[in-house]
Amino acid sequence: MATTKKPTATKLVPAVREIGAMKDYPALLAEVKARIQSAQYAALRAVNKELVGL
């Protein structure tokens, strides 16, 4: 007797995760922007420190 598997709800999980991730996208984007600005500022300070020392 052959049984066929019915589609389960677990196949919908990736789609649900994508929707959840899209809700957090603005927060993620803001965090990435803040990290980039912080790194740029740290690089600027390091360059200025070296120029002052020169």
pLDDT in tens, 1-54: 556 665 555 565 555 566 666 788 999 999 999 999 999 999 999 999 999 999
The verdict on residue 44 lying in a domain is yes
Can you give the residue range of the structural domain that contains 31?
Answer: 15-53
The verdict on residue 5 lying in a domain is no
- pLDDT of 10: 56
The verdict on residue 34 lying in a domain is yes
The verdict on residue 45 lying in a domain is yes
The verdict on residue 1 lying in a domain is no
Instruction: State the Cα–Cα distance between residues 52 and 41, nearest whole angstrom.
Output: 16
The verdict on residue 8 lying in a domain is no
- pLDDT of 22: 73
Q: What does pTM read for this prediction?
A: 0.55
Instruction: State the Cα–Cα distance between residues 40 and 46, nearest whole angstrom.
Output: 10
Instruction: State the Cα–Cα distance between residues 28 and 31, nearest whole angstrom.
Output: 5
Report the number of distinct structural domains present in the chain. Answer: 1
Instruction: State the Cα–Cα distance between residues 39 and 33, nearest whole angstrom.
Output: 10
The verdict on residue 42 lying in a domain is yes
